[in-house]
Amino acid sequence: MTKRNPYIILALIVIILGGFYMVQKNRTPTSPVIVNPGFEGGENGNPLEGWETAGVVEAGGYESEMRLTHPGGNVPVESVQKLSDISNGWYTLKAWVSSSGKQKDAYIALEDCGTEETRAAVPIVRDKWLQIVVPAKVTKRTCTISLYSDAEEGEWVSFDNVEVLPGRAALTVMGADISSLKKSEDKGGVYS
Ligand SMILES: [Ca+2]
């Protein structure tokens, strides 16, 4: 045992901790936790747990029991859920959507993320589930998921299986207008 050993051990500890720090720093952000992302109900039995919404939960979800539905009416309906304490960086919001096909306006959005709000329109396709996606860059460690629809009485827009994943989706149909979505659907295209 020479007296240099303590220094060697100290140097090793510094190297190991430094490496650990680098790994932590460069780690890809994890997926933010969304409460009740599929509207199958929370632990307390509230079917809308986690969401601030004037929508309703009803049967007939995407590959599941339940879905969130925005009924049409005099005022638009918005459902939101705020994600707090997330790492800054790019995220992509994904949701399965379906509608009566006559909405005036409907979209999924990421807002209040520190950058400009981004949206993806719910395609005008009747009674068919489609997955739409939209990315946003988070710069203030929070971001709000918004599901929005404006439709006449008797019409409806549904949402299910909401996800937010780290990374930026690279999609050609992203933000495309409805006519091009319809065209790409006719060609057998998918939206995610
Ligand atoms: Ca569901």
What's the helix, strand, coil split of the chain in %, to 5? 15, 40, 45
CA 135 to ligand 1 center in whole angstroms: 22
CA 59 to ligand 1 center in whole angstroms: 8
> How many other C-beta atoms can be found within 10 angstroms of the C-beta atom of residue 108?
24
pLDDT recorded at residue 69: 98
pLDDT recorded at residue 130: 94
pLDDT recorded at residue 38: 97
Q: Is residue 26 situated within a structural domain?
A: no
Domain span holding position 112: 32-186
CA 142 to ligand 1 center in whole angstroms: 25
pLDDT recorded at residue 30: 85
Q: Is residue 24 situated within a structural domain?
A: no
Nearest to 98 by CA among 108, 111, 90, 89: 108
CA 128 to ligand 1 center in whole angstroms: 15
CA 27 to ligand 1 center in whole angstroms: 31
pTM above 0.85, yes or no: no
CA 131 to ligand 1 center in whole angstroms: 13
CA 26 to ligand 1 center in whole angstroms: 34
CA 89 to ligand 1 center in whole angstroms: 28
Q: Is residue 2 situated within a structural domain?
A: no
Q: Is residue 20 situated within a structural domain?
A: no
Q: What is the pLDDT along the chain (192 residues), one digit of tens a residue?
A: 556 677 777 777 666 666 656 555 555 678 999 999 999 986 777 899 999 999 999 999 999 999 999 999 999 999 999 999 999 999 999 999 999 999 999 999 999 999 999 999 999 989 899 999 999 999 999 999 999 999 999 999 999 999 999 999 876 444 444 444 444 444 444 454
The total of structural domains in the chain comes to 1
Q: What angle do CA 111, 86, 135 make, to 5 degrees?
A: 45
Q: Is residue 10 situated within a structural domain?
A: no
CA 96 to ligand 1 center in whole angstroms: 9
Indicate which CATH number applies to the domain containing 171.
2.60.120.260
Q: Is residue 36 situated within a structural domain?
A: yes
CA 74 to ligand 1 center in whole angstroms: 26
Angstrom distances, CA of residue 2 to CA of 5, 15, 124, 146, 163: 6, 21, 77, 65, 57
pLDDT recorded at residue 125: 87
Q: Is residue 23 situated within a structural domain?
A: no
pLDDT recorded at residue 10: 72
pLDDT recorded at residue 51: 97
CA 64 to ligand 1 center in whole angstroms: 5
Q: Is residue 144 situated within a structural domain?
A: yes
